[in-house]
Structure 1
């Protein structure tokens, strides 16, 4: 499920600041990065299954590995985890409304914080 028009799309922010803000919202970078791209995940374990909210970005300047990058954010998505295949994001997935509402609030809060530091 894509979260269109969150206001996060195309915001640019310093990688270090973004990492700090995402951590405060329990969005984890872990190993989901390379020198040009980043993915911040938040895991939700519910009785309906395991879900991941993902916030993507890519370096428009600098290098993620050296922590000296400007990151442009992209459209966040929500997916459901299926063992052993991985996370599915398709239109056919059914997401609990309470989870969707939680994610929408989290993304709005994230946007409000990120906007203070964008260029």
Structure 2
């Protein structure tokens, strides 16, 4: 599921500031990066299954490995995990309404926090 029209596609921010801000919302980058891309994930374990809120981005300046990069964020995603195949984000997936509302609220709050240090 894509959280479209949340305005993330227009956000550019410094990697280190993003790492700190995302972590405050439980979104972890960990080892999910290469020199050009980053992925922040938050895991939700519910009775309906395991779900991941994911925010991806790519470097428009610098590189992620150096810790000095300007990251362009992409549309946030919500996916359901299926063992052992991985996470599915398709339109045919069903997501608990309470989880969708929680993620939507979190994304709105996170965007407001990131707005304090975004680049034009």
Question: TM-score, normalising length from structure 2?
Answer: 0.98
Which blocks of at least 5 consecutive residues in structure 2 are unaligned? Answer: none
For residues 5-84 of structure 1, the aligned pairs below 5 Å read 5-84=5-84
Shift of 1:78: 0.3
1:3 aligns with 2:16: no
Which blocks of at least 5 consecutive residues in structure 1 are unaligned? Answer: none
Match of 2:115 in 1: 115
* Residues 53-109 of structure 1 deviation map (CA, whole Å, 9 limit, x = unaligned): 000100000010110000000000000000110000110000000000000011001
Paired residue secondary structure (1:5): coil
Paired residue secondary structure (1:116): helix
* Residues 25-51 of structure 1 deviation map (CA, whole Å, 9 limit, x = unaligned): 000001110000000000000000000
Note the aligned Cα RMSD (angstroms). 0.5
Distance, in Å, in 2 between the alignment partners of 1:75 and 1:38 is 13
Match of 2:97 in 1: 97
Distance, in Å, in 2 between the alignment partners of 1:88 and 1:57 is 19
Question: TM-score, normalising length from structure 1?
Answer: 0.98
Moved over 6 A (4+): none
Match of 1:106 in 2: 106
Distance, in Å, in 1 between the alignment partners of 2:30 and 2:87 is 16
